[in-house]
Amino acid sequence: MPKVTFVAHDGRATEVDVPVGENLMRGALYNGIEEIVGECGGGLSCATCHCYIDEDWTERVGSPASQAEEELLESAGAEVRPTSRLSCQVDMTEALDGLVVHTPETQY
């Protein structure tokens, strides 16, 4: 099962297993990553699963954010960066084994 490392804003890193086909948000929630809230449950209607894909992984994650995702990111509670994504929109694949994701200081 692919592993993902979530790095909190304070530098604390937590490595978790995320099944292929699952999205990062659910992987974070199932594994107790408190920095990912996911209020809408992955319905692309909030921005409380905002994360920063590590720069070394942005190309491997694949397609850039959709227009709907970009619009929601405008309402994110933390700074939006070029590597910002909504974790509900990033699906796990075997190619993402070892992915590093940084979480913002706040989701609100």
Question: Per the domain annotation, does 108 fall within a domain?
Answer: no
Question: Per the domain annotation, does 86 fall within a domain?
Answer: yes
* pLDDT above 90 (res 62): no
Number of domains forming the structure of the chain: 1
Instruction: Kindly state the helix (H) or strand (E) to which residue 30 belongs, with its residue range.
Output: helix 24-30
Spell out the residues 6+ positions from residue 81 whose beta carbon is closer than 8 angstroms to its own.
52
Question: Per the domain annotation, does 27 fall within a domain?
Answer: yes
Query: Is the dihedral angle over the CA atoms 44, 90, 51, 30 positive or is it negative?
Result: positive
**Residue 101, pLDDT score:** 98
Residue range 63-89, pLDDT digits in tens:
789 999 999 999 999 999 999 999 999
Provide the domain limits for residue 20: 3-102
> Residue 41: which pLDDT band, with cuts at 50, 70 and 90?
very high
